[in-house]
Structure 1
Amino acid sequence: MLVVFQRQAFTKILLLVAVLPALLAAGCLPQKELALSGKTMGTTYHIKVVAGLFTSAESLQQDIDARLVAINRSMSTYDPTSEISRFNAIQNTAETFSPSADFLKVLTVAAEVHRLTEGAWDGTLDPLITLWGFGRKGIVDQVPDQAQIDQALAHVGFDLIEMDKSGKMRKTDPAVTLDLASIAKGYGVDAVSRLLGDKGFENFLVEIGGEVFARGHRKDGKTWQVGINRPDRDAAFTDVYKAIGLTNQAMATSGDYRIFFKVGDQFYSHIIDPRTGWPETSGVVSATVVAANCTVADGLATALMVMGPEKGVALVDGLPSVECLIVVRQPDGRFVDHPSKGFILER
């Protein structure tokens, strides 16, 4: 019986070896869906990858974590040794700073988003973010006086940072500082997506802190479905307001319903208007942007919160391959949707 068993096993192995090249050529090898998760940039990430049966989830997650650690070391204002912290520490206008490739890519997109939104998005809000209690010093639960706001505003403006053709940076105001939190998560999503693409994966979903990029399809061949959180302060993270089908696109959502403090009957959100120094008052409670990459989507979503529905939709309608859904809460609590011309929900 032992000899018969060995012969049967050997025959199966020969058949597998013979069939394997044909399966590879036809792309018919069995696949699995890997689910990876972890922490980064003060939030969490969740990744789904359609992969071959023999793909190592542990090895892939190590590569992803290493990539995210490198980005965080570049752009975290909570790390005093990070690249952005070292730039912020510069105290004179003569000193130049040579950014890494990651930092330079983010700054290049940031400058374009600042230009497109006419300053509604600004990466130099660091002193105002701190003043309002949404930065490194923690929530202060009190409204600063106008003199403090004006003092901080005097050192806000993305045009106070210059970059030459070689990429070297220089401050024209020694007190200007950067905070790229409203665009860095999107860049992290793009970086991980590039990593997965470079490794040959064609179907995956990458999410960091609610910002998403989807490539290809799910294991069952269906479109990736991504939910927009219901923009209520008491809504669970799993409470879906709208669902969007994504394929080879990024999506980012900004809202006023998660990070805020209340004084009396007034709520103050973490979305600061760079033009006034005050939390946005456009009436927008949620802004979702779908774009080719998540860095752009992340920055634009924040800007649309400040710009309001009319100007925001008008901007997006003029941009190629960009769509949006801006949600406004009415005085009676109802939500009113303001979609761009090509915005599509479930597919």
Structure 2
Amino acid sequence: MPFRPRPALAAMLILGVLAALLCSACQLNRELQLSGKTMGTTYHIKVVTGWLTSGTDLQRQIDDRLAAINKSMSTYDPSSEISRFNAIATAGETFVPSADLREVMRVAAELHRLTDGAWDGTLDPLVNLWGFGRKGAVGQAPDEREIRQALAHVGFDRIGLDPSGTLHKIDPAVTLDLASIAKGFGVDAIARLLGDNGYLHFLVEIGGEVYARGRRRDGNAWQVGINRPDKQAAFNEVYRAVPLTDRAMATSGDYRIFFQVGNHSYAHILDPRTGRPVTNGVVSATVVAANCTVADGLATALMVMGPEKGVALVNRLASVECLIVVRRPDGSLVDHPSDGFAIR
């Protein structure tokens, strides 16, 4: 006689099968991809997660966090926190920064010290003078008098950082531009957000700055490409590939933001010591570090320092590696890696 389960038992069996299938589906990995716009650029995020993860809620959290950072550090927003600090016209006036700005300024002060001023967050007047800031393109190189006038109010040591975390201006005319470190901070903030939400495997990229945690869906390390440092190169043309796990990577270069006057090209990486674009042959500097805030700022500094001093500095720093690329007069590219830099 065939077995015919009672209706109640049949229902329990069906529920058990569904629960088993549901639990199994939770274990199946997928790569959730999220993207958007922030800080005048774009972001792309990959999260290895279960099939039931809601991308909508995660996207909202990410966009809200990035909007808060942009509201703090954008010089293009006259009501932003950094714009309010820049508007202060009295030396010694106390400014109480948000936790985000306070952390960025702490790292900024350390980068300024480590690089002997090659990284400087007070280049705002020079950035605008050369047409790379909020005042828009100028289409010509400024004269020596204009450069000297701007340089007179450049220097991170013109800003006081009190042990309590408050800021004040020593020179009332000094102004901040943290664009060379803010995207890296944004990457770190989103990485923390994902970690706080329990995610163990993800890749966060904002404007080319990256943090990778854990592994890809296939179990291999994340692979992050360094763009070929040529003005004619496509944005997805890879010069070198770097395996990245639980590390950040940032690249600075002279081949995307520049203007041309005759046969001369002026790039946006400015030397705080001369007030002019760098002319040392460095076309790209990539830094791998524990966090992207440091990697972002240090990559800019290495463009200024050049290969010899730059690599020597990185070789003295714990858990930091770099690749500095120099273009020879004949157009060929020469790599200058730190001792432990890994490429493929």
Q: How is 1:96-135 mapped onto 2 (pairs within 5 angstroms)?
A: 96-135=94-133
Whether 1:242 and 2:244 are equivalent positions in the alignment is no
RMSD: 1.8
2:155 paired residue number = 157
Q: Distance in 2 between matches of 1:18 and 1:261?
A: 61
> Residues 11 and 259 (structure 1 numbering): CA distance in 2 closer, same or farther, change over 3 Å?
same
Deviation at 1:19, TM superposition (A): 7.9
1:232 paired residue number = 230
2:39 paired residue number = 41
Deviation at 1:10, TM superposition (A): 5.1
2:293 paired residue number = 295
Q: Return the match for 1:13 from 12, 15, 22.
A: 15
In structure 2, stretches of 5+ residues that fail to align are: none
Deviation at 1:174, TM superposition (A): 0.5
Deviation at 1:5, TM superposition (A): 11
Spell out, residue by residue over 1:97-147, the C-alpha distance to the aligned partner (whole angstroms, 9 max, x if none).
000000000000000001000000000000000000000011111010000
Q: Distance in 1 between matches of 2:6 and 2:70?
A: 59
Q: Return the match for 2:55 from 33, 54, 57.
A: 57
Letter in 2 for 1:15: V
1:67 paired residue number = 65
Spell out, residue by residue over 1:219-264, the C-alpha distance to the aligned partner (whole angstroms, 9 max, x if none).
1111101000000001110000000000000000000000001112
In structure 1, stretches of 5+ residues that fail to align are: none
1:219 paired residue number = 217
Letter in 2 for 1:64: I
SS for the counterpart of 1:133 is coil
Deviation at 1:11, TM superposition (A): 2.2
SS for the counterpart of 2:107 is helix
1:313 paired residue number = 311
Q: How is 1:139-154 mapped onto 2 (pairs within 5 angstroms)?
A: 139-154=137-152
Deviation at 1:53, TM superposition (A): 1.3
Q: Distance in 2 between matches of 1:67 and 1:294?
A: 16
1:179 paired residue number = 177
SS for the counterpart of 2:309 is helix
Q: TM-score, normalised by structure 1?
A: 0.95
Q: Return the match for 2:332 from 310, 331, 334.
A: 334
Letter in 1 for 2:212: A
Q: Distance in 1 between matches of 2:315 and 2:92?
A: 41
Give structure 1 regions of 4+ aligned residues with deviation exceeding 4 angstroms. Answer: 3-10, 18-21
Spell out, residue by residue over 1:152-174, the C-alpha distance to the aligned partner (whole angstroms, 9 max, x if none).
00000000000111111110101
Deviation at 1:29, TM superposition (A): 1.1
Q: Distance in 1 between matches of 2:168 and 2:145?
A: 28
Q: Distance in 1 between matches of 2:239 and 2:11?
A: 54
SS for the counterpart of 1:97 is coil
Letter in 2 for 1:13: L
> Residues 127 and 14 (structure 1 numbering): CA distance in 2 closer, same or farther, change over 3 Å?
same
Q: Distance in 1 between matches of 2:272 and 2:7?
A: 75
- The alignment covers a number of residue pairs equal to 340
Letter in 1 for 2:254: D
Deviation at 1:294, TM superposition (A): 0.1
Letter in 1 for 2:188: D
Q: Distance in 2 between matches of 1:9 and 1:322?
A: 59
Q: TM-score, normalised by structure 2?
A: 0.95
Deviation at 1:75, TM superposition (A): 0.2
Q: Distance in 2 between matches of 1:6 and 1:236?
A: 64
1:79 paired residue number = 77
Q: Distance in 2 between matches of 1:311 and 1:201?
A: 38
Deviation at 1:13, TM superposition (A): 2.4
Q: Distance in 2 between matches of 1:12 and 1:33?
A: 30
Q: Return the match for 2:195 from 192, 197, 213.
A: 197
> Residues 5 and 309 (structure 1 numbering): CA distance in 2 closer, same or farther, change over 3 Å?
farther
